[in-house]
Structure 1
Amino acid sequence: MNNSYTKIKSESEYDRIMEEILVLMNKGEANLSQEEMQTIRAKALAAEAYEQEHYYIEPPRTLEGMIELRMYELKLKQKDLAKTLGVSGTKLSLILNGKQKPDISFIKAVHTKLNVPADFILKHI
């Protein structure tokens, strides 16, 4: 397979492509030929295009939801997120559970450290 990819047309074809990628990846990167690496790339691009077309993830509707999304994207545990935002774990937990309103310093940290757009924050506090 060359660097271009064929469009995936069905869920069963998508599942088959994902299985083929897994089989190749399980060989380990050091054990793959250049052709196998190109095959993985082409299949992954096809799978990504299919996912973008068929799997819609609704954006967060709350500030808490956006913070949790960013925490997931950055692969942070809640205690690490609290440290990043400069708050205690307890305060972060209270805010995420809706038991405490965020203060200005928390909101500024969410904007600057997590890159949450200011207009989103203003609409959801």
Structure 2
Amino acid sequence: MEKVTGEEKYKEIMKRVDSLMAKGSERVSKKELVEIRELAVSLQDYEQKKYVIDPPSTLAGMIEMRMFEMRLKQKDVAKKLRISDAKLSLIMNGKQKPDVDFLKAVHTELKVDAEFILRHT
């Protein structure tokens, strides 16, 4: 498998993948399909190392990340946590402290690690 060693190599491999993909799925040989998969894995490995996203550093940030991952709107999260939209908004904006029931629901419903919750409340 060809390894991406830097930005220039990344661009070169991406160009190769683009040219193979431009052929269309009907015209790509099995060998080329294997090549695309291998190159994609190499590109993904490079991207994961280069574009590191820091984890959230606040409870509100973690809830927002889980909302994004679960594709939920704030009103859906409030319903899932069995609280009002207004209470969730107050907690998310730092105007109200979260209570124990809220924190338990965040842990069980949003699958937020209990240790993270303890460290960030």
- Band the TM-score falls in, shorter-chain normalisation: 0.7 to 0.9
2:97 maps to amino acid: K
2:102 is aligned with 1:84? no
Matched positions, count: 120
Alignment match, 1:6: 2
Find the partner of 1:93 among 63, 71, 89.
Answer: 89
Query: Structure 2 vs 1, CA of residues 10 and 99 (structure 1 numbering), >3 Å: closer, same or farther?
Result: same
Runs of 5+ consecutive residues of structure 1 not aligned to the other structure: none
Query: Structure 2 vs 1, CA of residues 85 and 51 (structure 1 numbering), >3 Å: closer, same or farther?
Result: same
Higher Rg of the two aligned structures: 2
Q: How far apart are 1:83 and its partner, in Å? A: 2.0
SS in structure 2 of the partner of residue 86 of structure 1: coil
TM-score (norm 1): 0.76
Distance 1:36 1:83 in 2: 48
Alignment match, 2:52: 56
Q: How far apart are 1:101 and its partner, in Å? A: 1.1
Instruction: Indicate the RMSD between aligned Cα atoms, in angstroms.
Output: 2.6
TM-score (norm 2): 0.78
Percent identical among aligned pairs is 50
Query: Structure 2 vs 1, CA of residues 17 and 109 (structure 1 numbering), >3 Å: closer, same or farther?
Result: farther
Runs of 5+ consecutive residues of structure 2 not aligned to the other structure: none
Query: Structure 2 vs 1, CA of residues 65 and 15 (structure 1 numbering), >3 Å: closer, same or farther?
Result: farther
Distance 1:17 1:76 in 2: 36
Cα deviation digits, residues 17-66 of structure 1 (max 9, x gap) = 446556728x5x78866555434422221122102222222111111111
Alignment match, 2:116: 120
Distance 2:74 2:17 in 1: 32
Distance 1:119 1:84 in 2: 21
Distance 2:18 2:82 in 1: 40
